């Protein structure tokens, strides 16, 4: 597990230097943020810009995004429209990778919020005791917007954000998230991570602390109702954390992952699908990409994943 944490940071933080065919190298999209932006960067023809869409009002989500520091909103050309909350991974919310898919989904007709759950000014600087309620809060806020059709909101998570997506919805079911899509998820709860120390032995970004008996254990990434949700139980990270009860979520789920994922073994994503397939009545769609790693590299695979995610959310969040 220690090596997984190291590779996770290196892959995601180094992805911006990848070749032009790599997923994270698309042009950074424009979006409304909780801090001022340079007007010279604006492209009025871009439907993901913050200018009001037809039928939108100042009561829409552009008024209120500042309540979620570092978060950004991407608007479609027409509202009301279904909403999506997107969760970044261990690269932190200041990186642009999740924004690329958000901009694409806005062009596909969704109101998209990229929620900075850590790694932005005003937010935690490490994955340590992040309240799961914060994800629910932004979902409820988006669902209550007049720009979101029928209050229907989906949740998309990438890597640690995929783990977060599955964990949150395993606890609250379909309120406020009517559908969930994840890329490169973990089927188990993972312990705390500090990207600032990811290259430092012996923990390589892992955060440890003493338990009630003084034993050194991995610190928890998450809290729920004020209580810590621990991941791996031992400081060497060799014992997996508790399984996420993915079948407790009764809404539809989409799972994608590269079969050669070097960060989370593809067995983790397959375990999510298998656990849900074992329960009658649950809808689960999946696509495991041969030859791909944690970050999709082939343009055809990137396009396929984007199309599948858009089609999935259009179908499951339809009026």
Please state the domain extents for the chain. Answer: 2-35+47-316
For 255-292, the pLDDT digits (tens) are 999 999 999 999 999 999 999 999 999 999 999 999 99
Q: Could you give the count of Cα atoms lying within 13 Å of 171 in the half-sphere of its Cβ?
A: 17
- pLDDT value, residue 62: 63
Task: Kindly tell me if the per-residue pLDDT of 7 is higher than 50.
Answer: no
Task: Kindly tell me if the per-residue pLDDT of 93 is higher than 90.
Answer: yes
- Give the tokens for residue 252: 């539809």
- pLDDT value, residue 63: 66
pLDDT confidence of 55, banded at 50, 70, 90? very low
Mean pLDDT of 209-226: 95
Task: Kindly tell me if the per-residue pLDDT of 304 is higher than 50.
Answer: yes
Task: Kindly tell me if the per-residue pLDDT of 24 is higher than 70.
Answer: no
For 139-160, the pLDDT digits (tens) are 999 999 999 989 999 999 999 9
Task: Kindly tell me if the per-residue pLDDT of 221 is higher than 50.
Answer: yes
Task: Kindly tell me if the per-residue pLDDT of 181 is higher than 80.
Answer: yes
Q: Which CATH superfamily is domain 2-35+47-316 in?
A: Alpha/Beta hydrolase fold, catalytic domain (3.40.50.1820)
- pLDDT value, residue 177: 98
Mean pLDDT of 242-263: 98
**pTM for the whole thing?**
0.84
SS (H, E, C) the chain: CHHHHHHHHHHHHCHHHCCCCCHHHCCCCCCEECCCCCHHHCCCCCCCCCCCCCCCCCCCCCCCHHHCCCCEEECCCCCCEEEEEEECCCCCCCCCHHHHHHHHHHHCCCEEEEECCCCCCCCCCCECCEECHHHHHHHHHHHCCCCEEEEEEEEEEECHHHHHHHHHHHHHCCCCEEEEEEECCCCECCCCECHHHCCCCCCCCECEEECCCCCEEECCCEEECCEEECCCCCCCCCCCCCECCHHHCCCCEEEEEECCCCCCCHHHHHHHHHHHHCCCCCCEEEEEECCCCCCCCCHHHHHHHHHHHHHHHHHHCCC
Task: Kindly tell me if the per-residue pLDDT of 220 is higher than 80.
Answer: yes
- pLDDT value, residue 58: 36
- pLDDT value, residue 243: 98
The residues that bridge with 73 in the sheet, in sequence order, are: 32, 113
Mean pLDDT of 194-211: 92
Mean pLDDT of 38-54: 32
Residue among 278, 279, 288 nearest 308 (CA) = 288
- Give the tokens for residue 154: 């989906």
Question: For the chain, how many residues are written?
Answer: 319
Task: Kindly tell me if the per-residue pLDDT of 194 is higher than 90.
Answer: yes
For 124-139, the pLDDT digits (tens) are 999 999 999 999 999 9
Find the distance separating the first CA and the last CA of the chain, reported in whole Å: 42
Considering only residues 14 and 75, tell me which one the structure prediction assigns the higher pLDDT.
75
């Amino acid at each position: 597990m220690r090596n997984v944490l190291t590779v996770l940071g290196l892959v995601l933080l180094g992805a911006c230097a990848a070749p032009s065919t790599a997923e994270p190298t698309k042009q950074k999209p424009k979006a409304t943020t909780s801090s001022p932006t340079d007007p010279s960067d604006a492209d009025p023809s871009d439907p993901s810009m913050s200018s009001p869409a037809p039928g939108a009002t100042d009561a829409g989500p552009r008024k209120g995004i500042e309540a979620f520091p570092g978060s950004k909103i991407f608007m479609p050309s027409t509202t009301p429209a279904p909403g999506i909350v997107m969760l970044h991974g261990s690269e932190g919310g200041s990186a642009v990778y999740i924004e690329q898919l958000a901009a694409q989904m806005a062009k596909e007709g969704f109101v998209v919020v990229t929620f900075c759950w850590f790694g932005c000014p005003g937010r935690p600087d490490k994955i340590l005791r992040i309240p799961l309620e914060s994800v629910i809060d932004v979902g409820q806020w988006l669902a209550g917007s007049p720009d979101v059709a029928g209050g229907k909101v989906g949740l998309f998570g990438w890597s640690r954000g995929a783990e977060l997506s599955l964990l949150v919805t395993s606890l609250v079911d379909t309120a406020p998230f009517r559908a969930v899509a994840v890329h490169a998820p973990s089927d188990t709860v993972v312990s705390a991570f500090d990207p600032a120390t990811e290259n430092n032995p012996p923990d390589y970004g892992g955060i440890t602390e003493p338990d009630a008996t003084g034993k050194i254990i991995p610190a928890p990434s998450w809290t729920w109702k004020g209580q810590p949700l621990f991941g791996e139980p031992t400081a060497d990270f060799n014992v997996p954390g508790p399984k996420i009860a993915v079948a407790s979520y009764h809404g539809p789920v989409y799972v994608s992952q590269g079969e050669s994922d070097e960060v989370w073994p593809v067995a983790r994503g397959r375990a999510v699908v298998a656990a849900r397939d074992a329960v009658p009545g649950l809808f689960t769609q999946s696509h495991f990409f041969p030859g791909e790693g944690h970050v999709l590299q082939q343009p055809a695979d990137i396009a396929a994943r984007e199309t599948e995610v858009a089609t999935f959310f259009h179908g499951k969040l339809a009026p």
